[in-house]
Structure 1
Amino acid sequence: MTVASVLVGTVLVGCGDGDDSTDSAGNASTSESPGAREDGTQAVRAAYDKTAEEETARMTMRVQTSAQGQSVTVDGEGTIDLADGDSVMTATAQGQKVEQRVVDQVLYQKAPGQEGAGGKPWIKIDLEKAAQQQGAGGQSVNNPADSAAYAKAITDKDVTEKGTETIDGVDTTRYRVTVDVAELPNGAQLSRQVGQTLPMDVWLDDEGRIRRQQLDMTVKAPAASTEQSAADSSAAPQEAKVRTVMEFTDFGTEVEAEAPPADQVTDMTGKLSEQQGQTQGQG
């Protein structure tokens, strides 16, 4: 499992039971006064827009993926335009570094040994086309802006205040919420792989902006065909467990997201779709 395969082939959300493994400080008190739940729901619903109003931010991302007995942790850092989703990030895993840019909904990646046709150092994937071609798989392309937008799909119930914590010197309030998968892009298809709802924790600062977000998910791959299942009892659906934690700091920082020169880029959008189809066919 290479760093490139994690970034391009794994849903950028995580699995787990919503434990407190990412806690940095604070308390775990869940006591709520009357009306606190409603206030919390309103705060989380408004958080995405309040964060986007800052236009830009510095971000860090940690993606922990476990599948078929293997585990990979990808750590990324960079900057993001919260208004249009453009971003620049360097990710590290297994000793490899990947340079990544998202410009006008096109993802560009440069990784050791990942040269495209003619030895071109960069590959690109059109995120909109990939989502259309892959259905639920379209969620798997590594776009930090998509992860931040999950706050817009929370339900009106199951919002719980978990206490206060300090993140990078900033006081925050932590909320545990439920994401309605149907409200996400390609939600009907995605729900067949991850279920109807997802647990998510968000940490909001005193101005209502997202400072940290943790999303947990268990992703089920499509089952093998009936013929394969009859011949191979191991053809049951495979699961990938992924946890994504994002943090935002330095609001207003400069973002320099530019596409690489065209003569250094190979378009892999179609190839990604073919690989996804082969994987689903194999179960």
Structure 2
Amino acid sequence: MLRDKNGLRVGALGIAGVLACTSLVACGSDTKKDPGARSAESSGAPKSPGASEDGTSAVRSASDKTTEAGSARMVMRTQVSSQGKTVSVDGQGVLDLKSGTSAMSLTAEGEKIEQRVVDQVLYQKLPPKAQKDSGGKPWIKVDLKKLGTQNGSNPQVSDPAANTAFAKNIMDKDVSKVGTEKIGDANTTHYKVKVDVSKLQGGSELKKMVGPTLPMELWIDDEGRIRRQQIDMTMTVPKGQGADSATQEKATSRTVIEFSDFGTKVDAQPPAAAETTDMTDKIAQQQGKKA
């Protein structure tokens, strides 16, 4: 698993709401403003139990309504803090919400990384200094289906399309309406919820790392689609340089994803096989060592 220049492990934080770049690239510190910061329009006060019940229905249906839109443009930021250091990954691109096909440009430590997901296979074109980990070839490949088969599920590598399904696994009693906000050109309703980790793919392993629930915030537009999703985690990860370190410490992360331009065209093709190194087994082995 790769690290940032300060030795901070970022791989363990790539679960379903966190793009695969956090487990496959090296990242540096970044103090830019979080795109998930609330606007001044937010009311901040939880609503009545009746409003909460309506919100539960809206949140649960948001995943399907977002997927029904077919495709979207996506902007994301992941920030991870541990050992007094912060790393970040920014990305933008297009996503087919039905098939999971995506094409994104990621930025980490000032480097640009091209990422594609085609037929549930993830490809990343790494910067030259990182290509020694891929045998000198420019692209790495991770078969998400095979990885799931080998490990039951892998909390380190994730399909960018999977994040919208989190909304289906909320705790009904922990839904509150925050207020209304403008996200881009869309009017949205802002909700705070908690996700039942046990209901997620690989939930039993993930629960050991993050606990029984995850706090999540959703901004849902007038058509019931997710416009912004924010997931905050406190995670237990091995301390120090060694991947097998028995010493544990806490790491926190925040992932914010925004959707816009629903129905946009998505065109992503796999790179040439001769330019690609398959990293699926290596990542599976690394995950097995930590289990």
TM class by smaller structure: 0.7 to 0.9
Match of 1:38 among 39, 53, 60: 53
**Does 2:146 align with 1:129?**
yes
Q: 1:49 aligns with which of 57, 61, 64?
A: 64
For 1:230, the equivalent position in structure 2 comes to none
Give yes or no for the alignment of 1:187 onto 2:187: no
User: Unaligned stretches of 5+ in structure 2?
Assistant: 19-34
Matched, 1:151 2:167: yes
Alpha-carbon contact 2:71-2:262 (below 8 Å) kept? yes
What is the CA–CA distance in structure 1 between the aligned matches of 2:45 and 2:177, rounded to whole Å?
6
* Aligned partner of 2:249 among 212, 235, 238: 238
Structure of greater relative contact order (alpha carbons < 8 Å, 6+ residues apart): 1
Deviation for aligned residue 1:217 = 0.8
C-alpha separation between the residues in 1 aligned to 2:185 and 2:9? 31
**Native 8 Å contact 1:200 1:216 kept in 2:** yes
**Contact between 2:215 and 2:232, CA under 8 Å: does it hold in 1?**
yes
Q: Deviations over 1:205-248 (max 9, x none)?
A: 01110000001111213699xxxxxxxxx953122211110000
What is the Cα-based RMSD across aligned positions, in Å? Answer: 2.6
Residue type matched to 1:219 in 2?
M
Closer/same/farther in 2, CA of residues 85 and 21 from structure 1, 3 Å limit: closer
- Closer/same/farther in 2, CA of residues 180 and 189 from structure 1, 3 Å limit: same
TM-score by length of 1: 0.85
Tell me by how many angstroms 1:132 deviates: 3.6
Residue 106 of structure 1 corresponds to 121
**Pairs within 5 Å for 1:4-43:** 9-12=12-15, 13=17, 22-33=37-48, 35-43=50-58
Distance 1:85 1:205, change over 3 A: same
- Between the aligned partners of 1:237 and 1:257, the Cα distance in structure 2 is 39
| CA positional deviation for 1:169 | 2.5
Deviating more after overlay: 66-75 vs 212-221: 66-75
**TM-score when normalising by structure 2:** 0.83
2:4 matched residue in structure 1: 2
Q: State the distance in 1 between where 2:229 and 2:218 align.
A: 4
Displacement of 1:134: 4.0
- Pick one of 57, 68, 73 that aligns with 1:58: 73
Read off the aligned partner of 1:181 and give its amino acid letter: V
Superposed structure 1 runs of 4+ greater than 6 Å apart: none
Aligned match of 2:237 in 221, 228, 235?
Answer: 221
SS at match of 2:263: coil
